[in-house]
């Protein structure tokens, strides 16, 4: 049993005396996985719901141009929000542990969303709204740093070392991520992205989308606080995430290694100097803005600091190099994939025929959602144990929803939809993922039993190839088309991107947990997300190439129309897929028995 809570002074407020219970023997995934699944679902609801509105809010309510909205705001925000997890991972590893960081991060992100609500409430005063918006984005960026790497790390700690269910567990966890990402844009977009009879955005409703994102973040954080002590435990029933990860040692690791990721203050000073030099080079030689220069220089310096840590053995360094190479190629994937929230959202608003008429009863819509939820719940309870407390909550919500539907039937309340809001297309990827994730999870397990499962690097190469095919499809759809295109082309693109995402992202999270030394787990999870920071800022710059007001160019390539724009991503993703596939053989040798 762990020491009493009072032995850990950092946790007296946030971690009450725990009442741990050993995980029951079962073929299902543990209850702790569902708690993390549920918590992350609400956090992703908050993030993706707000992200679906961000570019539309900046362009329509704040009346900024496309380039500023996509690169200056969207690219900078989504880049910086993936940069801070390296700090949150370090603090968890060295000082606070995963749990406290998750709770602090959750409350900070809720506060950031409420600041976005205040910003949108003052859209009539653009200067004030703009300033408050950046304040809200700043708080969200810091909160994400505490939250994201630590909840992902806890998933891997629920299982014994070498458990072959880990890839499956991360795929299921990833389904939770995308369940939130599916619901978020629908709710936040439905409340905050509305159009008048002339097709113009209604500016006064953006605030309600941001408000719902803040409430969702509160729900997820409070649920974690409620259930963490009972269910966030290892197979023996010992609490996870309470003590700093520097105290953890996996079987076979040298317990005499220094605990710090820094071998000396001199080494830190050297890499800090390198970071400053790189920052200046990016600014004055590379012509980058200060946010781009900051993200790129920090990513390079932190990676160097870790890989040259003197406490690493040659075998550990080889495995960490595999993580870094994988993370490098992930940059090209996410730079293209994250167009969903920027250029593809503007494409959906301006170039896609979104007309879709629905005339029905609101009660029917509610019962339809209850039915979908029941099917999802049935699947989830077959593959993992669900805490009794949440079963009761879900049962109560189902009864309340049915009673509400009956009330709306009695009132005769209609539900009318004339066209699909552009923000709703941010949910399509997650819809496909929820449908496809169970099949791909089972596929990896089946291939594993047959000893023919592809290695993690090869899965990621397949992911990049699927991404390229998605852009090739939409490029064909817009070629030689003068007016709006069918939404089916966009739905097809998101399907192929979803298959690519399932081959790459959850597999990458699992790879970090399998290859990272225990004392580096959270900080290396932060490094993994660091690649997302670079990718999102790079993606913002690529999104700004959308030829909305004339031709643009990139590295000598002229972009005259949407076809040229989409073909840029086809070429970039295809080349990255080929290179990663070729490198995968070298990477597999460094991975040893890990697949």
The tens digit of pLDDT for each residue in 207-251 reads 999 999 999 999 999 999 988 888 887 777 777 777 765 545 445
Can you tell me the distance from the alpha carbon of 467 to that of 546, in angstroms, rounded to the nearest whole number?
Answer: 18
Residue 30 is given by DSSP the state P
**Are 491 and 425 part of one and the same domain?**
yes
Spacing of C-alpha 7 from chain mean position: 34
Distances (CA, A) of 266 to 91, 257, 277, 294, 448: 20, 19, 17, 22, 45
In a domain, 124, yes or no: yes
Tell me the longest C-alpha to C-alpha distance in the chain: 73
- What is the secondary structure of 426-491 as a DSSP string? GGHHHHHHHHHHHHHHHHHHHHHHTT-PPPHHHHHHHHHHHHHHHHHHHHHHHTT--S-EEHHHHH
* In the block, residue with structure tokens 């053989």: 585
- Residue 16: the pLDDT is 42
**Are 202 and 274 part of one and the same domain?**
no
Phi-psi region of 163 (alpha: psi -120 to 50; beta: other; left: phi over 0): beta
- Residue 111: the pLDDT is 95
Residue 239 is given by DSSP the state B
- Residue 256: the pLDDT is 42
Count CB-CB contacts under 10 A for residue 19.
8
Whether 97 and 245 have beta carbons less than 8 Å apart is answered as yes
**Are 496 and 477 part of one and the same domain?**
yes
- Residue 11: the pLDDT is 33
**Are 211 and 238 part of one and the same domain?**
yes
Whether 427 and 185 have beta carbons less than 8 Å apart is answered as yes
**Which are the contacts of 97, defined by CB distance < 8 A and separation ≥ 6?**
10, 11, 241, 242, 243, 244, 245
> What are the structure tokens assigned to 207, written together?
């605030």
- Residue 27: the pLDDT is 63
Whether 81 and 234 have beta carbons less than 8 Å apart is answered as no
pLDDT below 70 — which residues of the chain? 1-27, 161-164, 166-167, 244-264, 506, 509, 518-519, 521-522, 526, 592-595
Whether 75 and 55 have beta carbons less than 8 Å apart is answered as no
As beta bridge partners, residue 384 has 29
In a domain, 18, yes or no: no
Distances (CA, A) of 263 to 250, 526, 536, 582: 20, 19, 31, 34
**Are 198 and 306 part of one and the same domain?**
no
Q: DSSP 3-state assignment of 29?
A: strand
**Are 32 and 177 part of one and the same domain?**
yes
Can you tell me the distance from the alpha carbon of 454 to that of 128, in angstroms, rounded to the nearest whole number?
Answer: 53
**Are 277 and 402 part of one and the same domain?**
no
Can you tell me the distance from the alpha carbon of 489 to that of 444, in angstroms, rounded to the nearest whole number?
Answer: 29
Can you tell me the distance from the alpha carbon of 56 to that of 296, in angstroms, rounded to the nearest whole number?
Answer: 27
Q: State which of 397, 419, 441 marks the end of a domain.
A: 419
> What are the structure tokens assigned to 236, written together?
């023996």
Q: Which domain holds residue 207?
A: 24-243+311-354+420-589
Q: Determine phi and psi for 557, rounding to 5 degrees.
A: -95, 120
Which of 462, 434, 36 has its CA nearest to residue 224?
Answer: 36
In a domain, 255, yes or no: no
Can you tell me the distance from the alpha carbon of 473 to that of 468, in angstroms, rounded to the nearest whole number?
Answer: 9
Which of 251, 409, 240, 422 has its CA nearest to residue 348?
Answer: 422
In a domain, 215, yes or no: yes
> What are the structure tokens assigned to 403, written together?
């009673």
**Are 110 and 62 part of one and the same domain?**
yes
Q: State which of 419, 451, 466 marks the end of a domain.
A: 419
In a domain, 154, yes or no: yes
- Residue 137: the pLDDT is 94
**Are 437 and 333 part of one and the same domain?**
yes
In a domain, 391, yes or no: yes
> What are the structure tokens assigned to 306, written together?
């870790």
Can you tell me the distance from the alpha carbon of 256 to that of 250, in angstroms, rounded to the nearest whole number?
Answer: 12
The 10s digit of each residue's pLDDT in 272-296 is 888 899 889 888 887 788 888 888 8
- What is the secondary structure of 276-325 as a DSSP string? HHHHHIIIIIS---HHHHHHHHHHHHHHHHHHT-TT--HHHHHHHHHHHH
In a domain, 11, yes or no: no
**Are 65 and 171 part of one and the same domain?**
yes
First-last CA distance in the chain: 33
**Are 233 and 105 part of one and the same domain?**
yes
In a domain, 184, yes or no: yes
In the chain, the number of structural domains is 3
**Are 143 and 168 part of one and the same domain?**
yes
Which of 463, 494, 486, 489 has its CA nearest to residue 474?
Answer: 489
- Residue 567: the pLDDT is 93
**Which are the contacts of 439, defined by CB distance < 8 A and separation ≥ 6?**
none
Whether 192 and 207 have beta carbons less than 8 Å apart is answered as yes
């Amino acid at each position: 049993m762990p020491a009493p809570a009072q032995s850990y002074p950092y946790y007296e407020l946030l971690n009450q005396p725990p009442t741990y219970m050993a995980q029951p023997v079962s073929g299902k995934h543990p209850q702790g996985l569902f708690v993390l699944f549920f918590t992350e679902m609400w956090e992703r609801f908050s993030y993706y719901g707000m992200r679906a509105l961000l570019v539309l809010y900046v362009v329509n309510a704040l009346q900024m141009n496309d380039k500023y909205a996509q690169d200056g705001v969207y690219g900078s925000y989504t880049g910086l929000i993936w940069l801070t997890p390296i700090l949150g991972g370090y603090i968890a590893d060295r000082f606070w542990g995963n749990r406290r960081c998750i709770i602090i991060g959750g409350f900070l992100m809720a506060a950031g969303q409420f600041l976005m609500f205040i910003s949108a409430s003052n859209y009539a005063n653009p200067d004030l709204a703009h300033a408050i918006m950046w304040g809200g984005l700043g708080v969200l960026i810091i909160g994400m740093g505490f939250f994201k790497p630590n909840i992902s790390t806890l998933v891997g700690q629920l299982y014994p070392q070498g458990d072959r269910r880990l890839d499956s567990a991360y795929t299921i966890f990833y389904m939770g991520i995308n369940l939130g990402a599916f619901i978020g844009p629908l709710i936040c977009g439905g409340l905050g992205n509305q159009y008048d009879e002339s097709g113009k955005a209604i500016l006064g409703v953006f605030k309600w989308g941001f408000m719902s994102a803040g409430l969702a973040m509160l729900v997820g954080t409070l649920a974690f606080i409620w259930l963490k002590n009972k269910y966030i435990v290892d197979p023996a029933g010992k609490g996870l995430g309470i003590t700093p990860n520097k105290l953890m040692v996996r079987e076979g690791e040298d317990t005499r290694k220094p605990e710090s990721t820094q071998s000396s203050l001199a080494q830190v000073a050297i890499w800090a100097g390198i970071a400053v030099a790189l920052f200046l080079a990016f600014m004055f030689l590379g012509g980058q803005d200060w946010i781009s220069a900051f993200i790129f220089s920090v990513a390079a310096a932190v990676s160097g600091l870790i890989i040259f840590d003197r406490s690493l053995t040659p075998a550990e360094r080889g495995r960490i190099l595999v993580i870094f190479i994988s993370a490098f190629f992930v940059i090209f994937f996410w730079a293209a994939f994250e167009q969903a929230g920027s250029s593809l959202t503007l494409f959906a608003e301006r170039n896609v025929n979104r007309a879709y008429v629905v005339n029905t009863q609101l009660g029917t819509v509610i019962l339809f959602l209850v039915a979908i939820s029941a099917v999802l719940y049935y699947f989830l309870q077959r593959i993992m144990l669900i805490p009794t407390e949440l079963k009761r909550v879900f049962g109560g919500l189902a009864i309340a929803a049915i009673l509400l539907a009956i009330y709306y039937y009695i009132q005769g309340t209609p539900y009318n939809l004339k066209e699909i809001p552009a923000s709703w297309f941010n949910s399509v990827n997650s819809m496909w993922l929820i449908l496809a994730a169970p099949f791909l999870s089972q596929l990896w397990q089946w291939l594993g039993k047959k000893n023919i499962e592809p290695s993690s690097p090869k899965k990621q190469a397949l992911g990049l190839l699927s991404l390229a095919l998605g852009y090739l499809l939409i490029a064909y759809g817009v070629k030689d088309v003068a007016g709006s295109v069918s939404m089916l082309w966009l739905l097809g693109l998101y399907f192929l991107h979803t298959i690519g995402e399932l081959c790459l992202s959850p597999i990458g999270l699992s790879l970090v947990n399998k290859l990272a030394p225990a004392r580096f787990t959270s900080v290396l999870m932060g490094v993994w997300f660091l690649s997302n920071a670079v990718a999102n800022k790079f993606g913002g710059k690529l999104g700004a190439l959308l030829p909305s007001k004339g031709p643009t160019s990139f590295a000598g390539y002229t972009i005259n129309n949407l076809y040229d724009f989409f073909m840029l991503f086809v070429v970039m993703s295809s080349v990255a897929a080929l290179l990663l596939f070729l490198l995968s053989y070298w990477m597999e040798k460094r991975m040893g028995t890990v697949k």
